[in-house]
Amino acid sequence: MLMHPGFDPVALRVGPLAVHWYGLMYLVGFALFWWLGQRRLRHEPYRRLGWQPRDVEDMLFWGVLGVIVGGRLGYVLFYQPLTYLGQPWRVLAVWEGGMSFHGGLLGVLVAMWLWARRQRRPWLQVMDFVAPCVPAGLAAGRIGNFINGELWGRVADPSLPWAMVFPAAGPLPRHPSQLYQALLEGLTLFVLLWLFARRPRRIGEVSAAFLVGYGVFRFVAEFFREPDAHLGLLALNLSMGQWLSMPLIVAGLALWGWAWRQTSNRPQE
């Protein structure tokens, strides 16, 4: 049985300025998107269509806005709507914490739709570019959760070699579910998507693979993650994260089916 190291959530202090590890992990995620995006430009059809490094930088700017705005509003609407309905000004208090991946995903979808429209490019082609570059950033975010000792897992058998006590969660050993999610939704999904996207694919296929892959991995990881205290388990003993993941899986399968049914939609060589 292990003990959580109890990291100081503040990575760096410069006078009155405190830089938190979680904020740094967001910056790492955005930097990874930029770095991977530069390499994604070498894949087809983007190399043939003349996509430029400036396009990656523009998408990153729009994506950051989508992640922050969508992630915050998603947390408010999906997880604590009544709390913020009574105190709506707290929606802006992002320093208190509270971000939702599913809300951030919706924010990115809207942001990329706006960018694609401005650039007069197919929205799904843009999303196919973005999808393989995202999981590495998700892994960084989950590592940030682990450093903070938050979003811990459910109670585990003490004989589990990596069972861990999180001081804020009490004396019982728990699954380090943040690391499970970093490995599943982050590293594993990244490797699978990157390899899948390197070959010519029908427009929409890479986006569909991301939706299905993330939805499945998140659904599985939620069995080891402690449900939100104010929500608990919902219908069918599933968590909010699992209920929000199921529409992603359905949407991904539907998009994949659509991509294959379009007779004019050939792999983008």
Token pair, residue 184, equals 């599943």
pTM value is 0.90
61's CB contacts (< 8 A; 6+ apart) are none
Q: Per residue in 19-78, pLDDT tens?
A: 888 889 989 999 999 999 999 999 989 999 989 999 999 999 999 999 988 888 878 787
* Separation of alpha carbons 11 and 25, rounded Å: 11
- At residue 231's C-alpha, the angle toward residues 226 and 232, to 5°, is 45
Can you name the residues that pair with 165 across neighbouring β-strands?
Answer: 3, 173
Largest CA distance in the chain: 62
What is the C-alpha to C-alpha distance for residues 54 and 154, in angstroms, rounded to an integer? 44
Cα separation, 30 vs 28, whole angstroms: 5
Position 206 scores a pLDDT of: 97
Give pLDDT, residue 22: 83
**Two tokens at 262?**
């379009």
* Helix intervals (H) in the chain: 21-40, 46-49, 53-78, 81-86, 101-119, 123-130, 135-148, 177-181, 189-197, 205-221, 240-261
| Per-residue exposure over 128-144, b if at least 16 CB sit within 10 Å of its own CB, e if not | bbbbbbbbbbbbbbbbb
Q: State how far the Cα of 202 lies from the Cα of 264, in Å rounded to an integer.
A: 10
Residues making up the binding site? 142
Which helix (H) or strand (E) segment holds residue 13: the answer is strand 10-14
Exposure on the CB side of residue 163, measured as CA atoms within 13 A: 13
Regions in the chain scoring below 70 on pLDDT: 82, 84, 89-97, 263-265, 267-269
Note the pLDDT of residue 95: 57
